[in-house]
Amino acid sequence: MLVAQISDTHIATADPGAGSRLSDLRRTVDAINRLSPAPDVVLHTGDVVHDATAEDYAAARLALSRLAAPLLATVGNRDRRPAFRRAFDFSACGANGGDGEFVQYAADVAGVRLVAADTFDGGSKLGGYCAGRAERLTQLVGAAAGRPILLFLHHPPVPLPEIYGPSLQFRDASEADLLAGVIARAPGVVGVIAGHVHRSRSSSVGGVPLSTMGSIAADLNFDELPDSRRGRPVFHLHRIESGMISTASVGV
């Protein structure tokens, strides 16, 4: 099972200074489409757009529609759930984008249960979580029927070293703990992948490996890259095999 991860595309159609972000996304889509073997799915871990306008989502959707592999996505702090839902249709993977208020859902692809968690917090750019989301997430991971589970979300619910701002990017540490507790109790979670910090970091949550990635928007990517890669998008490729996850950074 191969998963291509993209994140933090921050499409901003009204900002003339952000025009490179659409071309960054298009180049990334082209590079993912050229992969051999092809990924089974592409996961976007949020901040699809920057200002959440209909125009931003339309531009992002058009660029992402050229992906040969099916796409699943979840919301970042820059997204807005109603516009996000109008923009994306995950039915090709048998997913509905989440019941009720939150963008939490599962899709079973190539023998792996992919579970989106929604860490959007209406009051800040940091992450948030709540009892309702934890209950629904528990149901989604509990219905894996023995499949390995890959959880994808925007805000990593654990402290990370050497990032911009607080090491824990949740407004309330108890809400991060609530999410981490669901992960710790769920059998079969092989990995948690996140965005938000615009940097590649690795850690663990509830005994499960966790990784973050830089932003596909190269102007917002804070990873320290070699000269040959600077100013170009870098995406992640995850292989899930024998109940383990391994990850590579792929330059575009």
The binding site for Fe ion (CB under 5 A) comprises 8, 47
Minimum distance, C-beta of residue 188 to Fe ion, in the bound complex (Å): 29
Give 39's DSSP letter. P
Q: Which is nearer to Fe ion, 104 or 221 (CB)?
A: 221
Give 170's DSSP letter. B
Q: Which is nearer to Fe ion, 9 or 104 (CB)?
A: 9
Minimum distance, C-beta of residue 70 to Fe ion, in the bound complex (Å): 23
Minimum distance, C-beta of residue 95 to Fe ion, in the bound complex (Å): 23
φ, ψ at 65 (rounded to 5°): -65, -15
- Point out the residue whose Cβ comes nearest to Fe ion: 47
* Distance, CA of 139 to CA of 187 (rounded, Å): 12
Q: Which is nearer to Fe ion, 44 or 147 (CB)?
A: 44
Beta carbons of 145 and 123 less than 8 angstroms apart: no
Minimum distance, C-beta of residue 125 to Fe ion, in the bound complex (Å): 9
Among residues 5, 1, 3, 7, the alpha carbon closest in space to that of 155 is found at 7
Minimum distance, C-beta of residue 135 to Fe ion, in the bound complex (Å): 27
Q: Which is nearer to Fe ion, 113 or 199 (CB)?
A: 199
* Distance, CA of 151 to CA of 161 (rounded, Å): 21
> What SS3 state is found at 153?
coil
Among residues 42, 41, 39, the alpha carbon closest in space to that of 25 is found at 42
